[in-house]
Amino acid sequence: MASSRNGTPTLTLKPGTSWSDAWQRCLAVAPEAFRDDRVLNLWDARWQADGRPLPATSPVDGGPIAGPPRLAADTAHRAVHASLDQHRSWRHISLPERRARVTATLDALCEHRELLSLLLVHEIGKPWRLAQADVDRAIDGVRWYVDGIEDMLDGRSPLDGPVSNIASWNYPMSVLVHAMLVQALAGNAVIAKTPTDGGLSCLTLACALAAREGIPVTLVSGSGSDLSEALVRAPEIGCVSFVGGRDTGARIATAVADLGKRHILEQEGLNAWGIWNYSDWDALGAVIPKLFDYGKQRCTAYPRFVVQRALFDDFLAAYLPAVRSIRLGHPLAVEHPDDPLPALDFGPLINAAKAKELTDQVAEAVDRGAVPLHRGSLADGHFLPGQDTGAYVAPVTLLNPPPSSPLHHAEPFGPVDTIVLVDTEAELLAAMNASNGALVASLSTDDRETYERLSPQIRAFKVGRGKPRSRGDREELFGGFGASWRGAFVGGELLVKAVTVGEPGERLPGNFPDYQLNA
């Protein structure tokens, strides 16, 4: 084992985990979808070498990886029309046959679990543990639907057209592929746009395995401005499913409202953790590192703590040692070739541009009065010698970000915590509801009566008592309040309801302009 000059062990890339290794495996497993120098688009039930491939780099080390083959708008319209033809055939395939094909797809995904996970590491920077979890949640979650789909579809029928999926890059398998396979199981053809920032090869491999089993999948790449007319507004589309930011979500919401189109629009919110009349600091300290999983690049991350001023010293005594224990670095770097891959809390952000944007926001917030309570250092990270670390950001904690800062009211989507101090319950609730709706929230308080009184006033779809809430799996429902969600809720049987048709006049659970129905 070599050592650096200061005695720290010198790390090396674990053998067999390079991008070249992963790419060669893709060529061997799915030669129909991968060419020597590019991936293909999938539409009209064929892999097509169309579109203009763009260069791309891995956030892990800045090295080149396969880039998206971006389609022009007219080709996207042809792909959507072809998907409608697939939909009209697929909706009449018997449920036992659909179940058999989806089950075969899941078996194939399970067979290639390690390769799918490795692609996630390279393309979006997930540590190995979290990459495997993303793949496993997709497979296990869809199996739950396969086992119970008959009751969920009782009295229901597929939509009139395919489901169009536009999702963010952070959960290609457990959110996007999971949703696509359930939508297909329910009798719909499915279309997906590859996320602009990452996940292309992982999604391509997953769709190749599904297409082999006869699942009517369309996978295309392109810019939102070029493809939105086809993927959102085209009359062939039966439902639009979107996961992403509020600006893009608002534009899609306007389009689908004008067209009266079925929609599922999951948007960001500032998920907050409140501390009020609380004393179990060991429990809080134990959960803090877990909240930094994947660098808080997820829709259910907790980037805001709202703390009772009288408890601030106790809070810091629990928080600071926990945040200092967080490990970040290159997800595939090891000391010895036969070592297991490192157990990191997170790796890079999605790209160097996002890392710079977040670093600039932190600097600007401090210039305007925020107090830096903790600043981690990349010098303590787990990196290869001389590697590009442009996409990495060490944990940062700021007290009282100024109202003019984006960190005051918006989700940072990175390893930055902000803390707001409050003196009254009214201030606590106002600070926790700063973003006009969130997906999750938590409140730590010793008194159950206080929790039961305050939690209904927190504008989040799920509120935990002293523990984090997640998107959920299997039967657990999921949605959002306020600006964090528009359209039908999902999770459990609601995901199936959202992409099928029931009795005339049915009101789906969801957050709509004229009503909100939770279940």
The amino acid occupying position 90 is W
Question: Is the same domain home to 248 and 396?
Answer: no
pLDDT at 104 over 70: yes
Mean pLDDT lowest among 3-7, 170-174, 189-193, 293-297: 3-7
pLDDT at 2 over 60: no
Give the range of the structural domain holding residue 411, as residue numbers without chain letter.
Answer: 272-465
Report CA-CA distances (Å) from 38 to 31, 200, 204, 223, 387. Answer: 11, 11, 11, 18, 25
Q: CA quadruple 213, 85, 47, 172: dihedral positive or negative? A: negative
Q: What is the pLDDT of residue 475?
A: 80
Decide if 476 is inside a domain. Answer: no
Q: What is the pLDDT of residue 5?
A: 42
Contact between residue 135 and residue 114 where contact means Cβ atoms under 8 Å apart: no
What percent of the chain lies above the pLDDT cut of 70?
Answer: 98
pLDDT tens column, 261-308: 899 999 888 999 999 999 999 999 999 999 999 999 998 999 999 999
Q: Say which CATH number the domain at 305 has.
A: 3.40.309.10
Q: What is the pLDDT of residue 64?
A: 97
Averaged over 156-165, what is the pLDDT? 97
What percent of the chain lies above the pLDDT cut of 90?
Answer: 85
pLDDT at 63 over 70: yes
Q: Of 203, 238, 267, which closes a domain? A: 267
Contact between residue 488 and residue 508 where contact means Cβ atoms under 8 Å apart: yes
pLDDT at 469 over 70: yes
Q: What is the pLDDT of residue 268?
A: 81
Question: Is the same domain home to 130 and 276?
Answer: no
Q: What is the pLDDT of residue 513?
A: 82
Q: What is the pLDDT of residue 6?
A: 52
pLDDT at 376 over 90: yes
Q: Is residue 307 within a helix (H) or strand (E), and if so which, with residue range? A: strand 304-308
Decide if 47 is inside a domain. Answer: yes
Question: Is the same domain home to 45 and 101?
Answer: yes
Q: What is the pLDDT of residue 230?
A: 95
Relative orientation angle of helices 113-124 and 19-29, to the nearest 10 degrees? 140
Q: How confident is the prediction for the chain on average, in pLDDT?
A: 94
Q: What is the pLDDT of residue 306?
A: 98
Question: Is the same domain home to 252 and 283?
Answer: no
Which has more confidence, 516 or 440?
A: 440
CB within 8 A of 120, min separation 6: which ones? Answer: 126, 131, 134, 135, 172, 173, 199, 202
Report CA-CA distances (Å) from 295 to 77, 265, 421. Answer: 37, 23, 24
Question: Is the same domain home to 296 and 207?
Answer: no
3-state secondary structure of 511: strand
pLDDT tens column, 479-488: 888 888 999 9
pLDDT at 16 over 90: yes
Question: Is the same domain home to 237 and 162?
Answer: yes
Question: Is the same domain home to 192 and 339?
Answer: no
Question: Is the same domain home to 261 and 358?
Answer: no
Averaged over 324-350, what is the pLDDT? 97
Question: Is the same domain home to 316 and 454?
Answer: yes
Mean pLDDT lowest among 242-256, 345-359, 397-411: 242-256
Q: Of 267, 290, 313, which closes a domain? A: 267
Q: How many domains does the chain have?
A: 2
Which has more confidence, 47 or 248?
A: 47
Question: Is the same domain home to 301 and 248?
Answer: no
CA-to-CA distance for 92 and 83, rounded, in angstroms? 15
Q: What is the pLDDT of residue 474?
A: 79
Nearest to 44 by CA among 187, 167, 176, 219: 219
Report CA-CA distances (Å) from 122 to 219, 332, 343, 397. Answer: 20, 9, 16, 28
Decide if 356 is inside a domain. Answer: yes
Encode burial over 423-455: b for 16+ CB neighbours within 10 A, e otherwise: eebeebbebbbbbebbbbbbbbbeeeebbeebb
Describe the strand order of the beta sheet including 510-511 as a list of residue ranges: 46-48, 41-43, 217-220, 190-193, 163-167, 239-244, 262-267, 485-488, 510-511, 516-517
Averaged over 314-321, what is the pLDDT? 98
Question: Is the same domain home to 244 and 324?
Answer: no
DSSP string, 138-190: HHHHHHHHHHHHHHHHTT-EE-SSPEEEEE-SS-IIIIIIHHHHHHHHTT--E
Question: Is the same domain home to 277 and 244?
Answer: no
CB within 8 A of 412, min separation 6: which ones? Answer: 296, 303, 358, 361, 406, 418
Decide if 315 is inside a domain. Answer: yes
Q: Give the number of other Cβ atoms within 10 Å of residue 317's Cβ.
A: 11
Q: Say which CATH number the domain at 215 has.
A: 3.40.605.10
Averaged over 48-74, what is the pLDDT? 96
Averaged over 25-50, what is the pLDDT? 96
pLDDT band at 7 (very low <50, low <70, confident <90, very high): low
Decide if 441 is inside a domain. Answer: yes
Q: Where are the alpha helices (DSSP H) in 158-271?
A: 178-185, 200-212, 224-228, 246-259
Tokens, residue 511: 């957050």
CA-to-CA distance for 189 and 237, rounded, in angstroms? 10
Q: Of 465, 487, 505, which closes a domain? A: 465
pLDDT tens column, 398-420: 999 999 999 998 889 999 999 99
